[in-house]
Amino acid sequence: MRMKGFNILGHTFVILLMIMKGIKPDTQKEELLEHCTKLKVSVDLPIFLSSVKKTFGNMREQLSKAHFATAYETDVFGMAQCRNYLSTAECLACFDAGVSQLRRKCHAAVVSAHFIYQGCFLRYGIHNFYKEVTFVSSVWVCSYNRSVAEPSAFSPKVQGLLADISAATPKIKKYFATAKRQVFSSGKTPTVYAVAQCVETISPSDCTRCLTRTYANLKTCLPQPGGSAAEAGCFLRYSDSSFFVDSNLTDITPYTRGGSSSTKLPIIGIVGGVCFLFLLIAWLLWYQLVKKPKVAKRGELLQVTKLQGTVIYSFKDLKSATKSFSQEYKIGEGGFGDVYKGITNNGDIVAVKKHALTSNKSKEDFESEVKLISNVHHRNVIRLLGCSGKGSELLLVFEYMANGSLDKFLYGEKQGTLTWKQRVDIILGIARGLAYLHEEFHFRIIHRDIKPSNILLDDGFQPKIADFGLARFTREDQSHRISTRYAGTMGYTAPEYAIHGHLTEKVDTYSFGIVVLEIISGLRCTDVKIEPVNGSLLEHAWHLYEDDKHLDLVDEKLDPNEYDGEYVKRIIYLALMCTQMPASRRPAMSEVVVLLTSGLLFEQRPLSMPTLG
């Protein structure tokens, strides 16, 4: 077997080996993925390890009665799944082997792990991953130990089988299917076998999306005799050797319109269907919010997928989840409402933002935030799960970010703990999120208040742009420039907007440049105590640039061995380029992403001293 196309953040490595003699003649315990991650979060280690042990024990007990299990103990989420063709004894043996490997290869302080085998997988972590569908990058393996006869005939048959089973599985209860298909009428390698499976906590549409991706990856193995592909939410495999008995075959014919699909039809049909469903849901969302709100059932705050839009939740449930909005659960505050951690009855963790309708302006801010981001889905933009209201109090429910806001890591209580790599990844993530808002969403969204306190970090330190209370949008066919009343935060606001009210997406670009300087230096943009800049980080950075002393800007808490001086200069230059006047001299955020990721030297455009906002 050979690994292709996998690169998960964190300490990740893949070992393809036999970990013990097989459950079946085929190696159900063949390991496809080993992923252990130690995150920089504060946990009480004895309590954490006890929770991990209880989570594993709970899952094993569930697997003695079923092939899928989820469990939650204090701060630890767990999930395990076996292929349904395994017996209970085989399922437990695969799970036990995984737990044994995990304990042997993952350090005790690891706070998340994901092990995948041909016959099962197990996973645990401190965040709720039950709805996750895909990895950052995919994992798939192919068999190269021998060749098949007549590959030109073998490949189309396998593609047809994989397409059919991928299309059928999301429609089948518990998302599991096996199938086989005759390849040749006689002789050489007459039959190919396949299995498809999704985790039971995702929606049918997400199962479809997941299998579509694994199908596309697995096709690259052909014409090899076998291959397996996995994502966070699904598994797909084929082989010209049987790895399950015929009594475990699934009749997928009723779910494939009675026959074989072409190799292209499933992909086109699935993508087209999802696009149509997205448009339909967008209309239903408007109807739901404006005409006919619905209340989520108690204990089901996270039972909503990306394609289901925003849900109106029970105010009572949210109040209970936040312990009546207690100070103990308060995790943030700002001009547009306080934010509380919420823990539901079934262990889901959410962030609840509380608005008080004290004026028409506060109502407008609330409505703006709901309308703008209810259908925004990008890994670097915070996801709105739902909303609720009672009297003058309105609530927004967001995905929970374990590491809080960026400002705490730059000049707050966690100052100096970010590594250089983490800082670069955060800069790139913010750039990607802004590029999506400005150029890839069907409306151009201008945030207007990009600053570290509005950048949240998940448990992997991936940034997510948050707080859209000030955001505005334009259609693609409208002018990029509009005039509006100033709203934002001094120090981060572009001069043309702060002084004249001229608003374009380049206002966010200016703010991004300021935030980049803060990330590099660990300094707040308005409190630099260095003469003669009088409190301006931007002016300080400019003087260092002019004197070719860029590296003097770098946070002194960083180890110089962590970063390359020339690359630091490039990023500082890029930050200054984002703050140029007039706004037309600033790059588009999509260009910023290219400059950050290309690895190539870019043309050094002449810069002028930036104007302070």
CATH superfamily membership of 147-292: Gnk2 domain, C-X8-C-X2-C motif (3.30.430.20)
75 is an active site residue: no
Query: What DSSP assignment string belongs to 116-179?
Result: EESSEEEEEESS--TT----SS-EEEE--SS--S-HHHHHHHHHHHHHHHHHHGGGSGGGEEEE
Question: Beta strand 139-142 with 2-4: parallel, antiparallel or unpaired?
Answer: antiparallel
- Under 8 Å CB-to-CB from 529, ≥6 apart: which residues? 535
What confidence score (pLDDT) does residue 188 get? 56
Domain spanning 294-399: which CATH class is it, in words?
alpha beta
Identical fold for domains 1-130 and 147-292, yes or no, is yes
Give the dihedral sign, CA 475/481/482/484.
positive
Q: Which two tokens stand for residue 345?
A: 């009855």
- What proportion of the chain, given as a percentage, has pLDDT over 90? 42
117 forms beta bridges with 31
Domain spanning 407-597: which CATH class is it, in words?
mainly alpha
- Whether the predicted model's global pTM rises above the 0.85 cut: no
CATH of domain 1-130: 3.30.430.20
Three-state SS annotation for 285-309: HHHHHHCCCCECCCCCCCCCCHHHC
For the ranges 188-202, 390-404, 519-533, the lowest mean pLDDT is seen at 519-533
What confidence score (pLDDT) does residue 20 get? 31
Q: Which two tokens stand for residue 506?
A: 């380049």
User: For residue 179, how far is the Cα from the chain centroid?
Assistant: 32
Decide: residue 297, CB within 10 A, 0-12 exposed, 13-18 middle, 19+ buried.
exposed
Sheet holding 384-390, edge to edge: 311-312, 384-390, 393-399, 349-356, 338-343, 330-332
- Under 8 Å CB-to-CB from 493, ≥6 apart: which residues? 486, 507, 510, 511, 613
Whether the per-residue pLDDT at 315 is higher than 70: the answer is yes
Q: Which two tokens stand for residue 222?
A: 């052909």
In the set 449, 458, 467, 508, the catalytic residue is 449
The predicted-structure confidence for 366-396, as pLDDT tens digits, reads as follows 666 666 677 778 889 998 888 887 877 888 8
Write out the E strands in 458-576.
463-465, 472-474, 482-483, 502-503
**Domain ranges within the chain, ordered by starting residue:** 1-130, 147-292, 294-399, 407-597
Around Cβ 480, how many Cβ atoms within 10 Å? 14
The one-letter amino acid code at 173 reads: K
Residue closest to 447 by CA, chosen among 462, 422, 464, 427:
464
Residue in this structure with the two tokens 């459950």, named with its chain if needed: 23
For the ranges 175-184, 214-223, 311-320, the lowest mean pLDDT is seen at 311-320
The predicted-structure confidence for 561-593, as pLDDT tens digits, reads as follows 999 998 899 999 999 999 999 898 999 999 999
